[in-house]
Amino acid sequence: MAATDAQPTSERPRPKAPRRLGLSGKLLLLTIPLVMIAGILIYVPAIANFWMNRLNDRLAAANTAALVLDAAPLGMVPDSLSRQILTSIGARAVAIKMGQQRRLLASADLPPAIDHDIDIRNMTVWSAITGSFEMMLESGNQAIRVIGPAPGGAQFIETVIDELPLRQAMYRFSRNLLLISLGIAVLTAALVYLALHFLFVRPMRRLTANLAGFHEDPENSARIIVPSQRGDEIGVAERELSDMQRDLVSMLHQKSRLAALGLAVSKINHDLRNLLASSQLLSDQLASVPDPRVQRFAPKLMRSLERAIAFCQSTLSYGRAQEAAPDRRMIPIEPVVSEVRETAGLASDASIGWINAIERGLTVDADPDQLFRVLLNLVRNAAQALEGRPRSDAASMQIRITGRREGAVAILEVSDTGPGVPAKAREHLFEAFQTSSRPGGSGLGLAIAAELVRAHGGDIHLVEGTIGATFRIVIPDRPVELLTIRNERQRA
Ligand SMILES: Nc1ncnc2c1ncn2[C@@H]1O[C@H](COP(=O)(O)OP(=O)(O)OP(=O)(O)O)[C@@H](O)[C@H]1O
Ligand SMILES: [Mg+2]
């Protein structure tokens, strides 16, 4: 078995282009949004976490500052120092609540109003997420109070901070995270794409290319796929496909051999039956010979001929065979016509008149055997058409054969004075098994005649508007090569 892979690249069939996106395109389109969704899922908790951490950092710094401020003797800290401490921790005020007392430890440039409070003592995941996003969506610089647990015996500590620096830090964090996740997304998409491409898309393409190639030429065993060694579903599909293609190829070979055989048998049968029918006519005459030995054998001979004809008849339904190419040469038509008359049993049949109107010395460029079969079929049809006529018409029962030449074309006509071709039979007159309106007829005679005439580059048709039926055959001579003529002249 030849391998698909062994085919030269130029001969390998191209798979039909997918109607819209191929597998690779779909994969790429799918990987990018999936990786982006993964990025978003990572970003939302990350930014909330960043926000919480920043707030905790501020509270831790405020705690340290509170310890320092609280440790001052009598709680008195110079204004310049408390300002310095507040600047270093990025806060505007720090206060602490101990028992019932709420103490402002330090303050500098306090805004007239606090815009909102953030209490991180009872912060949930959800409120961290919404809080962080709210802050990012706000604009301008607002003052916020952050409240958190305080060390030691204090109830809580609070610090007032500016929102803007925190928001800008969140923007920076988001931008960095976005760039990193974009990088990861591109890298992951590329890796996933490549992995899927090599694992699935390429083997799938190989399968589709093989299917398309096999479809084009299913009888060619070189188009059977060579399964790879894969153990997965694609490997199984390849092995199954290979087995199926092998079965199909051998089935098709077997079928075409049988079809050819059937067609050949059918054609042989058709002409054999005609020949046997002629022998039957002869044996009919044999029966009238008074010799007792002939009298004894003649009925047996007739019975076996009848059986042979019936056998041929029953096997005629096997279709048409491919005719061999005609072996053409210039032949005189007269002897062929006489043989046809004889074979059709018309030479000895006085009830049917035979008119030979062939130009003297007419030659036809044809295969004599095939031309004989064409004419025999036409003459036999004519005789059969006349058989059905009432005996009173005997005088007008005629078959006429005419032949003439018009330049490089020979024209032969077979006409009879019968009832003419029935309208129903005219529609598919030259198609096999289509038109027989005669009991015992198979409808092959004219189809075979037409096939043989066409193989000569000629034409056969029913001439309209005549009494009875007239079939005209036109056979052109083969074109003569100018070179051959010149060579022949030179030789002469
Ligand atoms: N000369 C004719 N006169 C009247 N009808 C004809 C004539 N020749 C052919 N036909 C009609 O055309 C049909 C087809 O002819 P064809 O020779 O193809 O088949 P067949 O004679 O029925 O069978 P087969 O020749 O295979 O034994 C005939 O059955 C007949 O009805
Ligand atoms: Mg016939």
Distance in Å, CA 322 to ligand 1 centroid: 21
pLDDT of residue 12: 47
pLDDT the model gives residue 257 = 81
Cβ–Cβ under 8 Å, residues 266 and 316: yes
Is residue 319's pLDDT more than 60? Answer: no
Instruction: List for the chain the helix, strand, coil content (%; round to 5).
Output: 55, 15, 30
Residue 352 to residue 416: CA distance in whole angstroms: 10
Amino acid at 177: L
Angle at 301 between CA 295 and CA 304, to 5 degrees: 150
Q: Note the pTM of the prediction, 2 decimals.
A: 0.46
What percent of the chain shows pLDDT beyond 90?
Answer: 41
Q: Would the pLDDT of 28 be above 70?
A: yes
Residue 450 CA: which ligand is closest?
1
Q: How confident is the model over 220-263, as pLDDT tens digits?
A: 888 999 998 888 899 999 999 999 999 999 999 888 887 777 77
Q: Whose CA is nearest to atom 5 of ligand 1?
A: 421
Of the candidates 432, 369, 364, 357, the residue with the CA atom closest to the CA atom of residue 402:
357
366 lines ligand 1 (CB under 6 A): no
3-state secondary structure of 217: coil
Nearest CA to 445 out of 279, 325, 266 is that of 266
**What is the Cα–Cα distance from 16 to 198, expressed in whole angstroms?**
20
The interaxial angle of helices 233-286 and 292-314, nearest 10 deg, is 150
Closest ligand 1 atom to 274 CA: 27
Output the CA 375–ligand 2 centroid distance in Å. Answer: 11
- Top pLDDT among 37 and 2 is at 37
Q: Which of 8-17, 86-95, 145-154, 463-472 has the lowest mean pLDDT?
A: 8-17
pLDDT in tens, 327-337: 999 999 999 99
Ligand 1: atom nearest CA of 381 is 8
Q: What average pLDDT does range 185-208 have in this prediction?
A: 86
pLDDT given at position 141: 87
**pLDDT for the residue numbered 293:** 85
Q: Is the CB of 418 under 6 A from ligand 1?
A: yes
pLDDT classification of 9: cutoffs 50, 70, 90: very low
Residue 5: Cβ within 10 Å count: 11
Protein residue with its CA nearest to atom 17 in ligand 1? 445
Question: Which residue's CA is minimally distant from atom 2 of ligand 1?
Answer: 382
- Measured N-to-C along each axis, helices 334-343 and 368-387 cross at an angle, to the nearest 10 degrees, of 40
Instruction: Supply the residue whose CA is at minimum distance from atom 1 of ligand 1.
Output: 382
Using pLDDT thresholds of 50, 70 and 90, give the confidence band for residue 428. Answer: confident
Beta-bridge partner residues of 162: 143
What is the chain's mean pLDDT, rounded? 84
Please compute the mean of the pLDDT values over residues 108-123 and round it to a whole number: 87
Q: What is the mean pLDDT of residues 190-213?
A: 89
**Which range scores top for mean pLDDT: 255-264, 310-319, 381-390?**
381-390
CA of residue 328 relative to chain centroid, distance:
44
Q: Is the pLDDT of residue 2 over 50?
A: no
Instruction: Answer with the residue of higher pLDDT: 492 or 301.
Output: 301
Contacts 24+ apart (CB under 8 A), 132-139: 132/47, 132/48, 132/50, 132/51, 132/52, 132/170, 133/47, 135/51, 135/163, 135/166, 135/167, 135/170, 136/47, 136/167, 136/170, 136/171, 136/174, 138/163, 138/167
Could you tell me if 157 and 148 are in contact, meaning their C-beta atoms sit under 8 angstroms apart? Answer: yes
- Buried/exposed 237-273: b ≥16 CB within 10 Å, e otherwise: bbeebbeebeeebeeeeeeeeeeeebbbbbbebbbbb
Q: What is the mean pLDDT of residues 146-162?
A: 88
Using CA atoms of 64, 70, 72, 77 in order, give the dihedral in degrees to the nearest 10.
Answer: 90
Tell me, what's the pLDDT at 57? 93
Whether the per-residue pLDDT at 5 is higher than 60: the answer is no
Of residues 256 and 319, more confidently modeled: 256
| 70-79, 293-302, 355-364: least confident range | 70-79
